[in-house]
Structure 1
Amino acid sequence: MIEISGKKILVTGGDGFIGSHLVEQLVDAGAIVTALSQYNSFNNWGWLEHTACLEKINIVSGDIRDPHFCRVITKDQDIIFHLAALIAIPYSYIAPQSYVETNITGTLNICQAALENGCDRIIHTSTSEVYGSAQYVPIDEKHPLQPQSPYSASKIGADAIAMSYYNSFGLPLTIVRPFNTYGPRQSARAVIPTIITQIASGRKQIDLGDTSPTRDFTYVSDTCNGFTRIAQSLNTIGKTINLGSNFEISVHDVFHLVAKLMQADVELFTDPVRIRPVRSEVVRLWSNNSLVKSLTGFEPVVSFEEGLQQTIDWFLQPHQLTRYKPGIYNV
């Protein structure tokens, strides 16, 4: 097992939802963490602005689309967790080239830089969206890949680039394929924050898209624990590994469970603007997580209802809720 304590670790996308939680977990484990925040003229570090470990991490601002910058930030790093990506599916319909440039070319840049700098361990983040609508369940790592959106196509390409560096150059890389992570700090483009923030703002009519699809939800602390366990195991090198809960629930049932937990008398409304193109909608996702269990012993510990309650409690804090715009559909 690879020890995390004392290791120099780079987290790309450290300013994001999962990335900021992962940064905190790595700091707690004794790692020396550098977090990449996407460059902006406001020098805003995203969710890292509000983390308790802010003074214990080194934050750099930049863009993974620049190969020269990637060579600089990966220098002297022992482990790289590569989470930086464009992830909003609806926006990928509008700006597909930006997904290719960030997700595919950005991954190429990180892999090449890690190879040149002799990094010991690379964890590349994929997504369950690459599987498309399940042809069989639960979905294991051998399930066919189906590019049902420009976003999923870009992640399939990024995964292929990453694995090619393992096969061609021996880069010590693992592809981690999370299913639907949720929890505090998640973007309003995701379904659970969409429901919670609309209810919390006092709306009685909750706007959603298609609520028939099913998803496999994992609480963010469990996802981060899975990332860490995978990075610590030498048995995971060269493999693609699902990270999910082996649990399936429809968006419709999620809506009613959130409403119940929030004790809200609300009505569900289908907003046609939020409906994906017919062939683009992924109608069923359910993870087979037996491989990650066998290789690392990982098992989610936060139940879905418990995780929902923790997420609701976080969003109901006034200073958190003001960061969101529940009245605006965020693509």
Structure 2
Amino acid sequence: MAVLITGGYGQLGSWLAHQFASQDKEVIALDTIDKDLDYLKQIKSKITFVQADVLNFSKLVEIFIQYKDKIEGVIHTVAMTADPSFYGNPYYGLDLNLRGTINMLELARLFKIKKLLYVSSGAVYGEAKDKPGELTHSLHPADLYGASKAASELIGQQYENHFGLDFRIVRPYFFFGPGRLPSEQTQLFKSLLGPLESLPNLKLEKGADQRLGFTYIEDIAWGTYLLYQAENPKYKTVNICSEEPVSFLEMVRLAQKYSDKPTSVKIGPGKLFPRGETLDISIAKKELGFHPRYSVEEGIKEYARWVRENRKS
């Protein structure tokens, strides 16, 4: 049996594919584009690529018919994130985040797939002043992106209530790492980590006064894997991230430190996002045995190595 990962060659999806395939688990990577990612080469035999858009329901039905006897569960990672592009075309962003999720829930119902893990976001908490926890803080998104994630969570939970789907939610927070170069990232990470790729003219209008729980991508994949694999978990909604918030300015300093040709970054005063600094991961630690394996500096150092090996000449 296999786990189907939407966005299977995306930044998080590819590391989830790596995590499962490394444990000798078959993976069906559903994505719009096939990619030759270096960290998947040794385990490529365990990964089956299928090309589809999560908004193309008829194509998805064809795929699920083809693999109906092989899919044991689904991990849904596809989403448009809280980037200026989201607010430049909110209709598409909401359509992708909401209808894409509904399509996967409905396919799970139609094909009697027992488990679906939804990759949500800490954005559902909005601008919480303390470390928001799954049991102590309700959904209180502060922007359209967070609202689309919160709505998807609620819809998924009702699919569980009505149809018996084992619906699980992971809430990651501001992850970075191999899979995309800084130049291919959202404006936030392009600006903060652009020095690793020696990108010029890097700037953010705001952010000099903000700290966030930036987390290395392998830690997010590891925590997500643990929640998916858990037998009858006590809690089905789990925060996964670093407990230690790091400032935007410190992220830039570390990117410059590990760049062979560092470039400058201009960041204006104030906060870029209406977000709390980081999340409470007590449940992940107690129930799943999750602990971040990388500090932010260790993660940036690993990412710098990958960027050097994969950047465009």
TM-score over 0.5 (shorter chain) = yes
CA distance in 1, matches of 2:119, 2:30: 15
* Structure 1 spans left out of the alignment, 5+ residues: 1-6, 39-43, 324-331
| 1:68 has 2:58 as partner | yes
| 1:284 has 2:276 as partner | yes
Query: Which stretch shows the higher mean deviation, 25-34 or 205-214?
Result: 205-214
| 1:45 has 2:38 as partner | no
Matched residue of 2:279: which SS?
coil
| 1:151 has 2:145 as partner | yes
CA contact (8 A) 1:195 1:258 kept: yes
Counterpart residue identity of residue 139, structure 1: P
Superposed displacement of residue 192, structure 1: 4.0
Pick one of 236, 250, 254 that aligns with 1:239: 236
Query: Which residue pairs with 1:301 in the alignment?
Result: 293
Query: Which residue pairs with 1:221 in the alignment?
Result: 218
Counterpart residue identity of residue 242, structure 1: N
Matched residue of 2:116: which SS?
strand
CA distance in 2, matches of 1:238, 1:111: 20
Superposed displacement of residue 47, structure 1: 5.7
Superposed displacement of residue 61, structure 1: 0.9
1:176-207 CA-to-partner distances (Å, cap 9, x unmatched) read 1111211112342153443333453264x642
CA contact (8 A) 2:191 2:265 kept: no
Is the alpha carbon distance of 1:202 and 1:190 closer, same or farther for their aligned partners in structure 2, counting shifts above 3 Å? closer
Superposed displacement of residue 55, structure 1: 4.0
Pick one of 303, 309, 316 that aligns with 2:308: 316
Query: Which stretch shows the higher mean deviation, 223-232 or 258-267?
Result: 258-267
Pick one of 5, 27, 32 that aligns with 1:11: 5
Q: CA RMSD, aligned part only? A: 2.6
CA distance in 2, matches of 1:238, 1:164: 16
Query: Which residue pairs with 2:78 in the alignment?
Result: 84
1:31-51 CA-to-partner distances (Å, cap 9, x unmatched) read 11111012xxxxx41465873
Is the alpha carbon distance of 1:190 and 1:54 closer, same or farther for their aligned partners in structure 2, counting shifts above 3 Å? farther
Pick one of 246, 249, 271 that aligns with 1:249: 246
CA distance in 1, matches of 2:84, 2:205: 12
* Structure 2 spans left out of the alignment, 5+ residues: none
CA distance in 2, matches of 1:47, 1:177: 28
Query: Which residue pairs with 1:329 in the alignment?
Result: none
Identity of aligned residues (%): 27
Counterpart residue identity of residue 229, structure 2: Q
Matched residue of 1:224: which SS?
helix
Superposed displacement of residue 84, structure 1: 1.5
Is the alpha carbon distance of 1:85 and 1:282 closer, same or farther for their aligned partners in structure 2, counting shifts above 3 Å? same
Query: Which residue pairs with 1:170 in the alignment?
Result: 164
CA contact (8 A) 2:234 2:287 kept: no
1:187-235 CA-to-partner distances (Å, cap 9, x unmatched) read 42153443333453264x6423322222112211111111111011133
CA distance in 1, matches of 2:196, 2:285: 36
Query: Which residue pairs with 2:20 in the alignment?
Result: 26
CA contact (8 A) 1:16 1:47 kept: no
Is the alpha carbon distance of 1:292 and 1:73 closer, same or farther for their aligned partners in structure 2, counting shifts above 3 Å? farther
Is the alpha carbon distance of 1:126 and 1:166 closer, same or farther for their aligned partners in structure 2, counting shifts above 3 Å? same
CA contact (8 A) 1:81 1:123 kept: yes
CA contact (8 A) 1:131 1:144 kept: yes
Pick one of 125, 132, 136 that aligns with 1:131: 125
CA distance in 1, matches of 2:139, 2:187: 22
| 1:261 has 2:258 as partner | yes
CA contact (8 A) 1:128 1:285 kept: no
CA distance in 1, matches of 2:25, 2:95: 30
CA distance in 1, matches of 2:38, 2:261: 32
| 1:209 has 2:205 as partner | yes
User: So what's the TM-score if we normalise by structure 1?
Assistant: 0.82
